Amino acid sequence: MDFVFSQEDEQLRADVRAFIKQHVNPDVIREFQEFREGGARGPHLRELFDKLRERGWVAISWPKKYGGQGGSRIAQYLIEEEFLREGGGLRVAGGGTGSPAILASGTDAQKDHYIPGAIASEVVFCQGYSEPHCGTDLAGIRCRATRMSGPDGDKFVINGQKIFTTNAQNSSHIFLLARTDPQSKRQAGLSVLLVPMNTPGITVRALWTVQSDPPAPVKTTYGEIRTNEVFFDNVEVPASCLLGEEGDGWNVAQRGLNLDRVGAWRYLISVHLDEDIVNYLKEGGDATKHLRDDAAVRNTVADLWTEGQMCRLMTMRSISIDQSGKPFVYEGSAEKVAGPEHGVRATEAISQILGPHAQLLSSSRHTIESGLFAHNLLGAFQSTVNHGSVQVMRDQVARKALDMPRSGIKTARKEARQEAKP
């Protein structure tokens, strides 16, 4: 893989930065914040995305036959990175959770329907994985989808509950992992269904997060002020909503998660924190001079920055593998371990560097950077759970990269627990 961007890549970056400077204004950011809180897309936000689609910058790496540009994953990465960093945290280069899995596992009819809709922002997926009793243990899913025959063809009848479903209030569809074989256990007997959110029997109930009162600043890592519970009460959908083979949902979901983890969004979740503290120290003038001159602080920040660059290289490796068409097996899981754990270390180190004022939230007039560092601290550990816990990801790396048997993994866990005891 190349560790530098080409001249063409850098020109694209410059074009995106110029576009952001011209078109991303306070009205766009305000409407984006309202959208995150559960409102509709405002006129300024819709106009921005229309301009992005005119330039071909939405889903630039997706196939042309579905409305993409057939470009490189590097180009998509660059666009994502600039908007996430300089464009108020906007995610612009893909169609949301679910689309990568449809491209990988969907029928031609599903791709023809969902992918153009995702590019046009008419189809937006939320992720229906977690449940109240099993958390990140997806193999323990109880939400059931029973297949039944009728005069209009086969259908699934869904009953159950999902929790921590981010953006369910704004989504057109839910990428639902449900148990279609009631006699099955663990990973077996699960299937993925693409369910319209306006189907009768679906209820969305808000769960306001710790970031909601006071509200987190826009650029906060994991600063969503709302997530949701989603209830399914005899929800009927046609069998054509099935993605992949019935009973193969575990593999379909894993492929989708691996592809969804690759990109600028996941990388910047991990390293935004390093950039925030560097910028604060550099731009703080006399107020931060004592910190800039402190050798211990400089060493700590340098260590964080180096770790962040390691996360960047892991992301670039994953993009290179995916772009070359080579098997993408464990790399996304390895990324998901390194990045979030770095983010936790970074928030803790930054809090120690800045002292008590860094723990004051956005509502305090004495807070630092409008409460950004405090709200980052609140959200730090969430990244070690979202999209699969780091413990589960370690198991994936052990089995798929190191070819360790399940018994060997259990033994390693037991030995680690014994060593941890005082």
Residue 306 has, within 13 A of its CA and on its CB side, a CA count of: 6
Task: Give the per-residue pLDDT at 374.
Answer: 92
Q: How confident is the model at residue 272 (pLDDT cuts 50, 70, 90)?
A: confident
State the fold for domain 7-94: Butyryl-Coa Dehydrogenase, subunit A; domain 1 (1.10.540)
Q: Please give the structure tokens belonging to residue 321.
A: 């593998």
Q: Please give the structure tokens belonging to residue 187.
A: 């990973």
The answer to whether residue 180 scores a pLDDT higher than 70 is yes
Based on C-alpha coordinates, what's the Rg of the chain?
Answer: 22
Task: Give the per-residue pLDDT at 120.
Answer: 81
C-alpha pair distances (Å), 294 with each of 290, 297, 299, 348, 411: 6, 5, 9, 18, 44
Q: How confident is the model at residue 121 (pLDDT cuts 50, 70, 90)?
A: confident
Burial class (CB in 10 A: 0-12, 13-18, 19+), 286: exposed
What is the CATH superfamily name and number for domain 125-245?
Butyryl-CoA Dehydrogenase, subunit A, domain 2 (2.40.110.10)
State the fold for domain 262-420: Butyryl-CoA Dehydrogenase, subunit A; domain 3 (1.20.140)
- Distance (Å, rounded) from C-alpha 422 to C-alpha 416? 12
Q: 3-state SS string over 12-29?
A: HHHHHHHHHHHHCCHHHH
The stretch 324-344 carries a mean pLDDT of 79
The answer to whether residue 89 scores a pLDDT higher than 80 is no
Token match 């004495």: residue?
366
The stretch 125-149 carries a mean pLDDT of 83
Q: Going by DSSP bridges, is the β-strand pair 173-179/125-128 parallel, antiparallel, or unpaired?
A: parallel
Alpha helix segments (H runs only) across 56-97: 73-86
| Mean predicted lDDT score pLDDT of the chain | 84
Residues 19-54 have pLDDT tens digits of 999 998 888 888 887 777 666 778 998 898 889 888
Burial class (CB in 10 A: 0-12, 13-18, 19+), 34: middle
Per mean pLDDT, which of 61-75, 76-90, 147-161, 198-212 is the most reliable?
198-212
Q: 3-state SS string over 163-174?
A: ECCCCCCCCCEE
Task: Give the per-residue pLDDT at 15.
Answer: 93
Task: Give the per-residue pLDDT at 349.
Answer: 93
- 137-146, 219-228, 234-243, 380-389: the lowest-pLDDT one: 380-389
The share of the chain scoring above pLDDT 70, in percent, equals 88
Q: Where are the domain boundaries for CATH 1.20.140.10 in the chain?
A: 262-420
* Rounded (5°) CA angle 266-172-46: 75
Task: Give the per-residue pLDDT at 408.
Answer: 57
The answer to whether residue 141 scores a pLDDT higher than 80 is yes
Q: Where are the domain boundaries for CATH 2.40.110.10 in the chain?
A: 125-245
